[in-house]
Chain A
Amino acid sequence: MYRYDEFDAAFVRARTGQFANQVERRLKGEISEEQFRPLRLMNGLYLQLHAYMLRIAVPYGTLRSQQMRKLAHVARTHDRGYGHFTTRQNIQFNWPRLKDVPVILSELASVEMHAIQTSGNCIRNVTTDQFAGAAHDEIIDPRPVGEIIRQWSSLHPEFSYLPRKFKIALNGAPHDRAAIRFHDIGLQATTNGDGDIGWEVWVGGGLGRTPMVAKLINSFVPHEHLLAYLESIVRVYNRYGRRDNKFKARIKILVHEEGLETIKGQVEAEFAEMRGGQLTLPQEELDRISAYFAPPAFSALPDTPVDIAREDILDPVYARWLRHNLNRHVQPGYTSLTISLKPVGGSPGDATAEQMEAVADLAERYSFDELRVTHEQNLVLPHVAIRDLRAVYDGLVAVKLAEGNAGLITDIICCPGMDFCSLATARSIPIAQAISQKFAAPERQKDIGDLKIKISGCINACGHHHVGHIGVLGVEKKGEELYQITLGGDATENASVGKILGPGFDADGVPGAIETLVETYLARRENAQENFIAAYRRLGEAPFKEALYGNG
């Protein structure tokens, strides 16, 4: 994975020093909170309900064990012993003190980490497929280009005060595991007629209060022109994106209001000026960065299948974990495994300092020192030899991280909600906990199969409810929390936005309503291979609506 050179290290040190100066000026009262706000946001610092929240970047979701240990250290020293992994492949600490933040940042800098542009109206931390560089179905490892985009976008002087935040995701396999169609710019690896690899560019996707599926603006941009194309899009957005209304300021609204053809015309005109200019990316530089992401020194291992049927008899809990938490690896004898941060009844995405350290140890010993954070708020050991699976599993059991529920109904994406967030209008974590308790029985989860539930505590949709097969949105109505249920959302290459079925439910009613939807699916599916979203697409909303609200 990428290692900082002198330049990167000096850059992060300078940034940390700059922010220390800004914090000092704020503490002395030389700048107002209003003036400080965009500065702290661009350094990942939010003001939450109870305290400041610090969001640390995990570029394209990749970590070394040393970095994970540092996060554990921060959790223990400056927070309350835990951290929260987010849907942006980042980690948040909910209880740092302002005066400690520069210290935390300089600790992070010592392990090549930072909080740059994890918030604010700038280009945010770039995200990608958690199995990048390991998955069997990959066209290209997206991380080298992700790193180049990270560099290009870091403290970009033209794009530090955009109309609104700007998120870029990229995906290297045909199967979209990075939800690129719900980002401001989504990049999908593809090949052209000559067999060259380049990028489809999707623009104007997003969730929030106005969910939109991105539109294809260019079907093939080669690597060498990618930065010029990105700069063209962001310049058009910076100049013409709406600034009169915060809720209409994302590029998705610009694309929607002006029309894709207008925006495409402006972008292509800019690109015609920039193409071949100073942003041209030479192959040597792509090669240089790619070398950092070369596959680790895999052993030549036989292509042993994992014998789950045998474990079903010997150790059903282990078998369950094997069945659901592995992802096929490109290298024979290896697998990628998901460490679920979704224990039944727990807070989705949270990990304690001890758990982080245990995972770091396992990564160091069994996964070539590599770790990933997923946008579904789990962790991944990307390169584990199949023969080591039992040892890794035992290590996870010891720290209560061996939940075998990846991709199942209890693997819920959930925002922090009103328990932490100042924007939230309803609680979300307790809803997730109640749902996972309702469906706790492993056999039942297995029977239900792949089903993505996503919960947001407000309309800003940090819990991605729009793209949940079942989505739950908490709103406040007449002083009461009310939960709307959506159906049919999908974040993959078959992107769709979920539809609201009918009136909302109170908090106590949500698990029962979801159970009704699940029972309807189980009763109506063609067979066990037809998963929830496929059945919904075949059946339409009618049977689900009827089950929830009756014929009336």
Chain B
Amino acid sequence: MAMASTLHSDRQPDKLRSLGIVALNGMFDEMDAVGVMRQAVAEILPGDVAIVSSFGADSVVLLHIAAQVDPSLPIYFLETGKHFPETLAYVEQLKKQLGLINVTAIHPAPHDLARFDPDGDLWETDPDSCCHIRKTEPLEPITEQFGGWVTGRKRFQTKERGVLPHFELTSDDRIKINPLAYFNDADVAAYKAEHDLPEHPLYSHGYKSIGCAPCTSVVAEGEDPRAGRWRGLNKKECGIHYDFSGAIASPMNAADKYSLFKDGTFVADPFRVWDETMVAGEARYAHVPLPVFLENREAFLANPHPLGLLVSPGDRVEDAEADLGRFVSIAIKFPAFTDGRGYSTARLLTERYQYANELRAVGDILQDQIPLMRRCGINAFVITHKPTREALIENRLPEVNIFYQPVGTSEVPVGTRPYLRRAS
């Protein structure tokens, strides 16, 4: 069909294609889920559409609609390794009962698990990263193969989804098809009843929205069905639905909760402060004070878990020179913002010893010092001071961004003094 080729041939979303999407959205009655699905699969993107399904509490409606249109439609199930056994059983049950013949489970990369979540407890300290390695990353190579995706998202599910249409054009020029956009809770129940669809085994136990076992909890009567997802955390989406209206990916939500600023946003911090009860051979995700590390060097080097190093003013970082590569994070302590010893430490680490992992500043840090710290090689900041947090999020640090002297490993700003410009 002409419209499909127009939509998919040129990778730049432009006004014309956006208008095409608007027109598509006008073609269907609000409740005509099967019509939307058929149009997408048979007309707009034949052979170029797939579904990602969690096989959760209300996945069955979408899967039923898909089976009516095309039982061989590719369906991907994110086998995160953290599902309830009941969910895995439900996958098999639905495959059989609905006649789905093209369901594929996708798994997280073993090397990512080994590196970032060796003990399987990353969800506890950093659920964003957990979702990332178990959902977003594995899905990425699959996503690239299709021009369109069918989702089961519904307007009523979260505030961010409140204006969800049937067809969306994503920023990377794919089409998301949301046949259930206008369904509410009652519509879902009615559809299930009408077609006598099997419930997820946990639904009757109070689970109204079901994801990975550790991050799913029971919701109370009358509570938002998704309230049981990532309960207690300021998190509503797992990261695979980022494109929708931008609001879902906002770093401002995370900023309220997290104090580690890294790569342009506040993120969850898997690290803890070292305390006396920790043991050299077993500690993980803690910044070990440099003198403690030196005292128990052998035990720390034998420790298989991710560890960080804490360098305080007065510590000689050269004493740990040979072992710097063992640390995934080094924290430089600034007990007072007027204490500038950490700047020398940072330059020694990054320039002389080529340390290239996370280098964070902790302590008394104001927005006026951050540009200087960055120039010295510091790439992460633990910040609780509110105006400084706001300045970071809004990226408006008081900064002089042209430099007279060469500092750091990558500093080749345009216009820098020619005699001080790096050769590289």
List A residues at the B interface (Cβ < 8 Å): 6-7, 10-11, 14-15, 18, 21-22, 25, 30-31, 35, 38-39, 121, 151-162, 235, 238-239, 243, 273, 278-279, 281-282, 284-285, 288
Residues of A with C-beta under 8 A to B376: 157-158
Min Cβ gap B21→A in Å is 43
Contacts of B387 in A (CB 8 A): 25, 30-31
CB of B419 within 8 A of CB of A157, answer: no
Residues of B within 8 A of A6 (CB): 415
Binds A, one of B51-59, B118-126, B253-261, B396-404: B396-404
Q: Contact check: which of B369, B400, B417 meets A15 at CB < 8 Å?
A: B400
Distance in angstroms between the alpha carbons of A50 and B277 in the assembled complex: 55
Contact of B368 among A7, A22, A162, A288 (CB under 8 A): A22
Shortest distance between the CB of A494 and any CB in chain B (Å)? 35
- Can you list 9 A-B pairs with a CB-CB distance of less than 8 A? A151-B417, A155-B404, A156-B404, A156-B405, A156-B407, A157-B375, A235-B344, A239-B344, A243-B341
CA distance A306 to B371 in the complex (A): 57
Which residues of chain B (172-231) have a CB below 8 Å from chain A?
A: none
With A22-B398, A39-B368 as known contacts, state yes or no: A162 contacts B340, CB within 8 Å: yes
Complex formed: what's the CA distance from A157 to B415 in Å? Answer: 18
Question: In the complex, A284 Cα to B417 Cα: how many Å?
Answer: 12
Closest CB of chain A to B399's CB: distance in Å?
Answer: 7
What separation, in Å, do the CA atoms of A18 and B402 have in the docked complex?
Answer: 12
B97 close to A (CB within 8 Å)? no
**B340, A160: Cβ atoms under 8 Å?**
yes
In the docked arrangement, what's the CA distance between A155 and B399, Å?
11
**B320 at interface by CB-CB < 8 Å:** no
CB distance from B359 to the nearest CB of A (A): 14
In Å, the complex CA distance between A235 and B342 comes to 11
The chain B residue with its CB closest to the CB of A235 is B344
**Within 8 Å of chain A (Cβ to Cβ): is B343?**
yes
Given contacts A15-B400, A18-B399, contact A7 B344 (CB under 8 A): no
Q: Do A151 and B344 have beta carbons less than 8 Å apart?
A: no
Docked CA distance A167–B422 (Å): 28
Task: Report if A155-B338 is in contact (Cβ < 8 Å); known contacts: A7-B417, A161-B343, A285-B419.
Answer: no
Q: A7 is contacted by which of B347, B371, B402, B407 (Cβ under 8 Å)?
A: B402
Contact indicator B400/A11 (Cβ below 8 Å): yes
> Which residues of A lie under 8 Å from residue B400 when comparing CB positions?
11, 14-15, 18, 155
The answer on a CB contact under 8 Å between A18 and B398 is yes
B24 in contact (CB, < 8 A):
no
Among A31, A38, A157: residue with most chain B CB under 10 A: A157
- A39: min CB distance to chain B, Å: 6
Chain A interface secondary structure, helix, strand, loop or mixed?
Answer: helix
Q: Give the residue of A11, A152, A158 whose beta carbon is less than 8 angstroms from that of B344.
A: A158
Q: A11-B400, A285-B418 are in contact. List 12 more A-B contacts (CB 8 A).
A: A11-B402, A14-B399, A21-B398, A31-B366, A157-B372, A157-B373, A161-B337, A162-B340, A243-B313, A278-B422, A278-B423, A284-B419
Contact of B340 among A39, A153, A158 (CB under 8 A): A158
For residue B321, CB closer than 8 A to chain A, the reply is: no
State how many angstroms separate the Cβ of A505 from the closest Cβ of chain B: 39
A273: B residues at CB distance < 8 A: 352
Which one of A10, A30, A152, A153 contacts B402 once the chains associate, using CB atoms below 8 Å? A10
Count A/B pairs, Cβ under 8 Å.
99
Contacts of A25 in B (CB 8 A): 387
Q: B420 an interface residue at 8 Å Cβ cutoff? A: yes
Give a binary string over B406-424; 1 marks a CB under 8 Å from any A CB, 0 the rest.
1100000001111110110
Q: How far is the CA of A38 from the CA of B368 in the complex (A)?
A: 10
Kindly list chain A residues whose C-beta atoms are within 8 Å of the C-beta of B344: 158, 235, 238-239
Bound complex: CA A477 to CA B407 (Å): 49
Chain B residues with CB under 8 A of A22: 368, 398
State whether B405 touches A151 (Cβ < 8 A): yes
Q: Which chain B residues border A35 with CB–CB below 8 Å? A: 337, 366
Interface residues of B (CB under 8 A from A): 313, 337-341, 343-344, 347, 352, 366, 368-369, 371-373, 375-376, 387, 398-407, 415-420, 422-423
Also in contact, A10 and B407, with CB within 8 A (given A18-B399, A273-B352): no
| CB-based nearest B residue for A24 | B398
Residue pair A14, B338 in contact (C-beta under 8 Å):
no
Q: Contact: B420 with A155, CB < 8 Å? A: no
Taking the closest CB of chain A, its distance from the CB of B290, in whole angstroms, is: 14
Partner of B415, one of A7, A30, A151, A235: A7
When C-beta atoms are compared, the residue in chain A nearest to B387 turns out to be: A30
CB neighbours (8 Å) of B313 from chain A are 243
Q: Which residue on chain B has the smallest CB distance to residue A274? A: B352
Closest B residue, CB atoms, query A160: B372
Known A18-B398, A30-B387: A238·B419 in contact at CB below 8 Å = no
- Please report the C-alpha to C-alpha distance between residue A389 and residue B199 in the assembled complex, in whole angstroms: 106
In the complex, how many angstroms separate the beta carbon of A156 from the nearest chain B beta carbon? Answer: 6
Contact in complex: B404, A152 (CB < 8 Å): yes
A10 — nearest CB in chain B belongs to which residue? B402
Residue of A153, A155, A162 most packed against chain B (CB within 10 A): A155
Q: Are the C-beta atoms of A278 and B404 separated by less than 8 Å?
A: no
Q: CA of A152 to CA of B420 in the docked complex: distance in angstroms?
A: 9
Query: Across the interface, do B419 and A282 meet the contact criterion of CB distance under 8 Å?
Result: yes
- B337–A155 touching, CB < 8 Å: no
Cβ of B404 and Cβ of A154 under 8 Å apart? yes
How many angstroms from the CA of A121 to the CA of B340 in the assembled complex?
10
Cβ of A239: which chain B residues have Cβ within 8 Å of it? 341, 344
> Residue on A with the closest CB to B347?
A158
A243 to B, closest residue via Cβ: B339
Whose C-beta in chain A lies nearest to the C-beta of B376?
A157
**Docked pose: A7 CA to B352 CA in angstroms:** 29
**Complex Cα–Cα for A348 and B63 (A):** 91
In the bound complex, residues from chain A placing their C-beta under 8 Å from that of B402 are 7, 10-11, 14
Closest to A281 in B: B419
| Separation of A239 and B339 alpha carbons in the complex (Å) | 10
Find chain A residues with CB under 8 A from B373 CB: 157
Minimum CB–CB distance for A291 against chain B, Å: 14
A6 to B337: give the CA distance in the assembly, Å.
32
Taken together as a complex, chains A and B put the C-alpha atoms of A97 and B38 apart, in Å, by 73
How far does the Cβ of B369 sit from chain A's closest Cβ, in whole Å? 8
Q: Which residues of A contact B417 (CB under 8 A)?
A: 7, 151, 285
Q: Please measure, in the bound complex, the distance between the C-alpha atom of A11 and the C-alpha atom of B413, giving whole angstroms.
A: 13
- Bound complex: CA A333 to CA B337 (Å): 56
How far, in angstroms, from A228 to B230 measured CA to CA in the complex? Answer: 54
**Do A279 and B406 touch across chains, with their CB atoms under 8 A apart?**
yes
- Could you tell me if B338 and A151 are in contact, using CB atoms closer than 8 angstroms? no
CB atoms of A161 and B405 under 8 A apart:
no
In the complex, chain A residues whose CB is within 8 Å of the CB of B341: 238-239, 243
**B404 with A161: CB separation less than 8 A:** no
Task: Determine which of A11, A243, A288 lies in contact with B404 in the assembled complex, contact meaning CB atoms within 8 Å.
Answer: A11
Q: Contact at A161–B419, with CB atoms within 8 Å?
A: no
Name, among A10, A31, A162, A278, the residue most crowded by chain B CB atoms within 10 Å (CB to CB). A278
